[in-house]
Amino acid sequence: MKTYFVGFLVACFTFLSACTEESMQVANSGAGSSAGKTAAEKQLETQARSLNQVSQNIIVKNTIEGAAIGAAAGCGIALILGGDSSDCLRGAAVGGVAGGIGGNAVGREAAAKNEQIVKTAEVVRNLSQVSKRLNGVESQLAAVVRSQNAEIRSLRRQVAAKQVPKARLDARVRAINSNRRAVRSELAKSENNVVKASNQLNSARSKGQGGLGTAQKAAASNKARLAKVRGSIKLIDA
């Protein structure tokens, strides 16, 4: 029976890990076309996607840990209370729900313990990583935008002087706008992920968990910065 229990829990972890990998692959599939883009523009998009992946970890990693540990806790509680394999499976199922959405069947004490697993230290650490990645994106974005704007001004002068065809200007405008849309999209996804993390913190706080002030401030700071950087990206008129 013990072997069966262990197998059940391993299957839970394996299934949830597979879901995580799939979600990351879906996120990566939204990359914009690289046609006509410079190496710096491609690097910027890569950095923005990396930021999005890191921001996903705030949500996915914590929810999976809560659900998986919830299942283990549910099973453990059932056995401690003298249950058999059926009780363990029922307890694990309920515990997983408790870990994922706060549930109550195994008891609010178990749900509270699950929330402790995803509390301040880990969330703050993840948000710190988001902030660091955002620093890199912000710096690279500023350099790329300066270069793009200077290039477009130069091309417009050359077109006006009939030194280059307008088609060349139009092609670069399309490539630059594609680049800016791609970066803006990734920043929007990251911002949404941080909002979800903030909502999770608020939910944990509403259930009586304390000591979340630092994490909530970090989430609010990251959200504001992401919105500001995203809002600063403007498309170029043809």
Determine the Cα angle at 25 with ends 136 and 95, to 5°: 100
Instruction: For residues 238 and 172, give the distance between their C-alpha atoms in angstroms, rounded to a whole number.
Output: 9
Q: Which residues are CB-neighbours of 7 under 8 A, at least 6 positions away?
A: none
10's tokens: 């391993």
Residue 106: predicted pLDDT:
36
Q: How do the pLDDT tens digits run along the chain, 238 residues long? A: 545 444 544 454 454 444 444 444 444 444 556 789 999 999 999 999 999 999 987 853 344 444 544 454 445 444 444 455 555 555 555 455 444 444 444 335 544 455 454 557 878 889 999 999 999 999 999 999 999 999 999 999 999 999 999 999 999 999 999 999 999 999 999 999 999 999 988 887 787 777 888 999 999 999 999 999 999 999 999 7
Domain boundaries, the chain: 2-231
Q: Residues 141, 236, 226, 64: is their CA dihedral positive or negative? A: negative
Q: Look at phi and psi of residue 211 and say left if phi exceeds 0, alpha if psi is from -120 to 50, else beta.
A: left
Residue 168: predicted pLDDT:
96
Residue 91: predicted pLDDT:
53
What is the pTM (predicted TM-score) of this model?
0.67
Short-list 33, 22, 62, 51, CA closest to 189: 51
Determine the Cα angle at 72 with ends 126 and 59, to 5°: 25
163's tokens: 């030194």
179's tokens: 């680049």
